[in-house]
Amino acid sequence: MKNIDEALDGCVRPLQRDPEVALDVRRELAGHLEEHLAEGMSEAEALRRFGDPEEIGAGLFQANFKRLKLRAKIRLAVMILSVPAVIGALFFSINFRFWNSVVQLQDFALLPGEIPQPLRQIAQTIAPIFGRKERQLSGGEAVIAYGDRSRGATANLSANANAQYAIAELYPRDRVFRANAILSLLANTGMDMNNRPFRIAEVEKARAFEPGNALYDFLLAALLLEDALEFPSSDKERFQIRDRPLLDRAMTIFRTGLRKPYYRSYLREMAEKRDAVLNDGTLDFASGVTRIVRYAQIVLPHLNLYRSLARTLPFYGELLITEGNQPEGELFLDAWKPFVRKFVQDEISLIGLVVAGSIIDSQKSFARLPIPEKRQQELARAVAPVRRLRASLQHVRENAVPSFTQGAGFFSCMMLAGLPTRSQTQLEIMLEPERRLNYVFANGVMLQFLNTLGCFILCGYAVGMLISLCRGRPGFLLTFSRRDGFRIGLWGILVPLALFFSLMELTPLGGRSFGLNPSNPGAFPRLAVETFAFLFLLPVPFLILWRQACRRRGRELGFRKLPPAVWHCNMFVGWVVLLVSFTMLVRPGLCFAERYWTDREQLIIHAEFFTQVEDQLIRELRGELLKALPD
């Protein structure tokens, strides 16, 4: 038998460049020799009839030349493309636009926790490359969008205020940018109050720059009152006057503001200018999140200043009355009417309209003299819309939260407190798209984790292949039958994916009717089970079928057990096929689902300003307040 083995080795020696073909041919030749031996021939006679091994080898090489050449090209292509294919699958599975938006949310404290700096840098650097191509901003556009981020803090300006001041310096005649700079300056709540003279001086400059705008009169009056008065901590205590001439000057400036032709904070206009620069016309989940980030950056320092200013009105009016100046005193006791009207007409935020209600309330709570019945009635009518809103939200918190949060997505739960006042049917229609988009993103994250995990596993098999190669035992790729290939594609990839996503739609097993939000913790265990199944159970059928096909082909080639080099090589390719196949099937489906639910989303993505519900609520409340305010 030794001679037979040597003869067979000589026959297949020209085919050794493709070990699988050599083993396949050797097995076939061995079968012919076994037939001769079975007929009673001796080993020598069988080999004589078999022929010269070198001639047979040369003939076999010529007969299999095209096959060898084709298989060599395929094998080389597979080995060269495996790594790029996996890297491509990994990057194709990552929604860089959305991850960049998540980084922005975390940066502006809209998400808990801390994103590691390397991940933040990767998202911000690679997002424009692998995501949708975003319009490149010019130097001036970048300043409008973000301010000059290269500027740091100074003695009088925080880093953010200094960055916003750069916009006004770049466009010195623009009223919108000037107002944005002043509001950013006044938002420096953490700055040393020794910079108060600087703040007052800057507001006075803005007042001179736009003399017709009552905004700067109100802001200047409020700033001067901080030096003129010692404000009480509650409405039970009294104001203490520090500087009476300064108090009179502040209230004179406030009265001047009431006579100004218009009031503009330019918050909406500033947001629109930034939208014009940053909005590339793309409507997707990432664009909705990015817009939320932009509007979350809007600073509202004037609201606290207006609260303090409004509390001073009844005190100052009563002070003038006690000093014998009845007409002037009455004027300031009624000054809340034109003040609130000017303020409400321009206000774009829900919290601003709620502050308008507290301004109206303060006229009664901080009064010390008896309030005439007519004024009491006017105050009650004016504050009624805000009180109804507060009562509605309180009812939501006490009674409607469970039904609301079960179907709400992350953003709708976090930001849309007015939603549960809608009917159940309206809720179901409005909440579903954003909730579904949350799951689309979650499934995308699962795919990213699977690809990342697969990369680590591939590194392990690559190390095994390298070790075998250094020991002189290179592996080779096995060729599966069409039946095995069909079985792997159908039962290892298509059926498991279809079954997985079908089961996840069923409420008892996971479902998409449970919103992913902090107030609905029951959804997260379901998502954890789904993630575990996707990462560790979904690939199992493919891996089992792939391993079976490898063993079956190995036995056909004469191996009882595949050598480590061959095993590592084929399992490496198997994981490549798994990751690329899953990505090619899942990612397009996720992209389609994102487009589908984005088109139907009625809360965030297609909102005019912040969210559609809040936009509508603000319009309704503003109209009710203006209608209830006395002339």
End-to-end Cα, the chain, rounded Å: 115
Closest CA to 510 of 493, 533, 491: 533
Q: Rounded distance, CA 590 to CA 436, Å? A: 11
Crossing angle (nearest 10°) for helices 175-186 and 267-278: 110
462 or 99: which leads in pLDDT: 462
Average pLDDT (43-50) is 54
β-pair partners for 262: 213
Q: pLDDT tens digits, residue range 21-32?
A: 555 555 655 555
Stronger pLDDT, 409 or 325, i.e. the higher one: 325
**DSSP assignment string, 135-178:** PPP-HHHHHHHH--TT----SS--HHHHHHHHHHHHSTT-HHHH
pLDDT in the model for residue 495 = 95
For 600, list phi and psi in degrees, rounded to 5.
-100, -5
Angle value at C-alpha 119, between 116 and 125, nearest 5 degrees: 135
Q: Return the number of other C-beta atoms located less than 10 Å from residue 499's C-beta.
A: 12
The per-residue pLDDT for range 486-505, each reduced to its tens digit, is 999 999 999 999 999 888 88
Q: Report the pLDDT value the prediction gives residue 112, as an integer from 0 to 100.
A: 45
Confidence at residue 525, expressed as pLDDT on a 0 to 100 scale = 84
Residue 552 pLDDT grade (very low, low, confident, very high; cuts 50, 70, 90):
confident
Which of residues 16 and 142 earns the better pLDDT score? Answer: 142
Label residue 33 by pLDDT band (50, 70, 90): low
Cβ proximity of 312 and 239 under 8 Å = yes
pLDDT band, residue 617 (cuts 50/70/90): confident
Instruction: Output the CA–CA distances (angstroms, integers) from residue 595 to 286, 434, 541, 600, in the order listed.
Output: 11, 12, 31, 9
319, pLDDT greater than 50: yes
Residue range 178-182: mean pLDDT, rounded = 94
Mean pLDDT, the chain, whole residue set = 79
Least confident of 342-351, 399-408, 472-481: 399-408
Interval 189-201: pLDDT, tens: 554 556 788 999 9
Q: What is residue 310's predicted lDDT score, i.e. its pLDDT?
A: 93
pLDDT in tens, 409-447: 777 776 555 555 556 666 677 788 888 888 988 898 899
* Tens digits of residue pLDDT in 571-614: 888 898 899 899 999 999 988 988 898 888 877 777 777 677 77
Residue 111 has pLDDT above 50, yes or no: no
Q: Read off the tokens for 189.
A: 């709540």
Give 236 or 119, the one with higher predicted confidence. Answer: 236
How much is the average pLDDT of 268-292? 78
Give the integer Cα–Cα distance in Å for 489 and 580. 12
CA distance 209 to 174: 10
Residue spans per domain, the chain: 2-63, 131-407+616-628, 422-600
Q: What does the pLDDT read at residue 417?
A: 55
For the cut 90, the answer to whether the pLDDT of residue 159 exceeds it is no
Per the document, the length of the chain is: 631
pLDDT reading at 97 higher than 50: yes
What pLDDT score does 291 carry?
A: 75
Of 36-45, 177-186, 427-436, 467-476, the least confident: 36-45
Could you report the per-residue pLDDT of 374-384, keeping only the tens digit for each? Answer: 999 999 999 99
- Please indicate whether residue 620 or residue 121 has the higher confidence score (pLDDT): 620
pTM for the model stands at 0.71
Tokens of 382: 């004016």
Q: Can you tell me the mean pLDDT for 439-461? A: 88
Give just the sign of the alpha carbon dihedral 456, 462, 468, 471: negative
Of the ranges 1-15, 91-105, 106-120, 596-610, which one carries the lowest mean pLDDT score?
106-120
191 CB-near residues (< 8 Å, 6+ apart)? 156, 157, 158
